[in-house]
Amino acid sequence: MTKSKTLHGIPEAQFVADVAAFLSESGGTITEAMQKQDELLSKYKMLLENIRVQQARLKVQIPDIKNCLHIIGEMRSRKASEESLSTRYLLSDQVFVQATVPPTDKVCLWLGANVMLEYDLDAAEELLTANLGKAQTKLDGALLDIDFLRAQITTTEVTIARLHNHQVALRRQAQAKA
């Protein structure tokens, strides 16, 4: 049933042009074929929702990384001019603190899972630049997967409709004969 896959392993939906031939190849009934297509459709929808959640997370993460890179650049310029940096930072949920940061070549980065590490400015910029590239690549992949999944959902819905229409046509033929 699945002939090809995308880069991320999402199976491609099979377009059914001839329902009778499809049913004879699969060796099942219309009801079984519709159940398989319904199951496939629900898998596609679940995958789509998961990828949309990932996309939303990345859309928040990318501006945060860019902001951190901007702050590192600002810290570099302040260090060169020996000028303190006045800023507000997030201490905890919805709690901001005013701070004056003396010129320094060190910065602490929040890595997640309650882990914060101190980096020099060059290492922090290198890490954040790499993370930004990875996040943008993941976002581009998520957008491609969303487009692919939408097409697969449409193909699967069309297949379900064709199976249903074929079932209705068979019933009408049986009623006409009776």
Question: Which pLDDT score, from 0 to 100, does residue 10 have?
Answer: 85
Per-residue confidence in pLDDT tens, the chain, 178 aa = 444 565 578 889 989 999 999 998 988 899 999 999 999 999 999 999 999 999 999 999 999 999 999 999 999 999 889 999 888 888 888 899 999 989 999 999 988 888 999 999 999 999 999 999 999 999 999 999 999 999 999 999 999 999 999 999 999 999 998 7
149: Cα separation from own chain's centroid? 11
The helix or strand, by DSSP H or E, that contains position 3, with its residue range, turns out to be: none
Nearest alpha carbon to residue 154 among 31, 41, 35 = 41
* Short-list 146, 102, 110, 148, CA closest to 128: 110
Which residues are 85's β-sheet partners?
A: 101
Q: How many CA atoms lie within 13 A of 21 on its CB side?
A: 4
Pair of tokens at residue 97: 């603190």
Exposure letters 138-162 (e unless 16+ CB within 10 A, then b): bbebbeebbebbeebbebbeebbeb
Task: Name the 3-class secondary structure at 4.
Answer: coil
Its pTM stands at 0.80
In this prediction, residue 1 carries a pLDDT of 44
Domains of the chain, CATH where assigned: 31-78+105-158 (1.10.287.370)
